[in-house]
Structure 1
Amino acid sequence: MTENKAGSPVVGPYCHADVLEILAAGRPEYIKACAEAILETIGSIDVLSNRTGLAMLPYEDTVHGTAFHLGEVLVSEAHIDARDHDVKGYGGVVGRDLEHAMAIAVVDASIAASHALSKIQTLLDAEHHHRLENDDVRLKMVEATRVQMETF
């Protein structure tokens, strides 16, 4: 594991924020499977919190560039402590999938402990690639609905 200038862990080309974003948007079944494999070797884990709640969804006004709250969104989050490595992990996702949030927290703690990094990078590469493919398909579907208007 390396760290960026701010001291945050980096896995391959992914900074800590990228890792959490990829995992939160990733396919839960793959992330949970990776976390299960990590749990077999990482040692003792204490769950500090595992809960759902409402969070304000920030958005930016594209005209004025000001931030405002669009509304509330249900989120699940988990905080864990990997005692054997003296590191903590965090996971958060939109929705009511506490297992997904817990799996992200396990992966996050594993990264902080420099544990199973090759397995995690393989997961991150696959989920990042999958997301890019899905975004491309979605953009093509949106483009197909675009209407060209003539101006007079």
Structure 2
Amino acid sequence: MKKALFLFMLTLPLLAIAQNKVKFGINTGAVLSDVRGESYAANFNYGMGYLVGFSMETRLSERLSFSANINYERKNPTKKEDYSYMIIVAGQNGMAQEIMIDGTAKITNILNYISIPVNLKYYIGSNKGYFVTIGLFAIHLIMGLTLVLAKK
């Protein structure tokens, strides 16, 4: 009897959610990103990142629903750049000696965002298997880091 009561109490919230027609989900995916702008953005290539988050959708009518997500996104655009610089070191005889260092560096921008898309979906077709969506999103940069890997 206690087991049956426990299971009933456990399923009550699920029944309430089902009555309101609210669906929850998990978002995952790949993100292909680039950098745009002035001279800094030149020569950046698309980089592969990822997205993880949670979603919620609730029906407003038979054909209309509202959905909202909260996602963590990591974007990683990259570029390769040649470099050349001179350093001055003390030689064996105590005299200054110039050394030129040339190489190629791989520069990766690691950009972490929180994004919150909000959409209205209108389902079409007789079985409502297709939909049209319209919405907007807010995105906030929570951390940016530039990683430079240099090879001589």
TM superposition score category, shorter chain reference: under 0.3
Higher strand share: 2
Larger Rg: 2
* Greater helix fraction, Structure 1 or Structure 2: 1
TM-score for the superposition, normalised by structure 1: 0.27
